[in-house]
Chain A
């Protein structure tokens, strides 16, 4: 198996939000695409997400947010990564996020936001593209 080390990503839910159907589908689809997915479960703080991502040495963090707190939680995760010198870890996300907020999140450093209805393959291709 030497040489072809799988891409590792952390997939998580942050904050007070129990809607995990979507995030589990994403985690499973990425698994089926040959990715090592670390799933951290519900109700994580940004601190827990960032500490876990660092320990797991992942290429990217994917966050699912359905609580309308995306304009607080994404910047906090980015800020914590920066504080640890880990800005090279890509942050992306999805959930119920209004279109007008997406450019704001991009400007803050979130690489991509996937909203409901996105074909699964698009998300898989995006994540796989991070490994190249």
Chain B
């Protein structure tokens, strides 16, 4: 992994403690260890007290190019105005041929790159197929313990069947754009079935009204947005807030500590 050449391997507890104090390098290194399936890092994550460090996990999914990253950028802005620390995992596909990846989601979020209250990490799927990266679940569990108040996961641009996000996120937002099909598309199983909130982005484009009409017949919560300008983003955040309920400690997984 990237850190193999580093002579000094800090202990896991050190990395977490530094991360909580705002040292982004420590956060990044810890996440790399988790992502590379370092057994000790993974077991450290599993033993973190989830009840005490819970943070809502928002899943943003949808077809490629509909504006997921731009919407995430706007949500970061909104949560920063509320003074919340935001952790973002932006997932893009690994090549099935070479294992390489071009991770470009953060291009749309670079206005937040130097904000110490925002941590953005690009993850490649590394052979995993459900729309998430191999170790997404573990990395997501680590972020609240590292001091982040809200976690946003942006999935790869999905087709209809990559719905692993529902197992990781507390609320799933599916982003669509006008012109992607008729009312029958809105009835199909898969993405729209698991979404709690459906966003029709690029609402300024031709066909947006038709898309909204079709979707509203079948989907309970449909919100039009223009993520580039921020229009509709507050409504999305309100709908997210209405869905997110902190689980009762008694109902969570047993943990030590």
Contact = CB atoms under 8 A, between A and B. Distances in A.
Nearest to B95: A31
* Interface footprint category on B: 35 or more
Given A36-B124, A41-B107, A5 B2 contact: yes
A66 interface: no
A58 B25 CA distance: 11
Given A1-B134, A52-B110, A30 B100 contact: yes
Contact of B1 (A5, A31, A34, A84): A5
Interface of A: 1-2, 4-8, 27-28, 30-41, 44-45, 47-48, 51-52, 54-59, 84-86, 88
Nearest to A56: B122
A6 B24 contact: no
A51 B122 CA distance: 13
B226 to A, nearest CB: 21
A51 B113 contact: yes
B100 A32 contact: yes
11 contacts: A2-B36, A8-B2, A34-B100, A39-B103, A40-B113, A47-B113, A51-B24, A51-B113, A57-B28, A84-B25, A88-B6
Nearest to B118: A55
Contact of B36 (A5, A45, A58, A84): A5
B2 to A, nearest CB: 5
A38 B106 contact: yes
B114 A56 contact: no
A6 B29 contact: no
B77 interface: no
Contacts of A32: 95, 98, 100
Given A41-B107, A55-B28, A84-B25, A36 B121 contact: no
A88 B5 contact: yes
B204 to A, nearest CB: 23
Closest A-B pairs by Cβ, 9 of them:
A41-B107, A5-B1, A57-B28, A31-B100, A5-B36, A48-B113, A2-B37, A34-B98, A57-B32
B36 A55 contact: no
A55 B100 CA distance: 19
Contacts of B106: 38, 40, 52
B190 interface: no
B2 A58 contact: yes
Contact of B122 (A6, A27, A38): A38
B12 to A, nearest CB: 15
B103 A36 contact: yes
B251 interface: no
A27 B95 CA distance: 13
Interface in B79-102: 94-95, 98-102
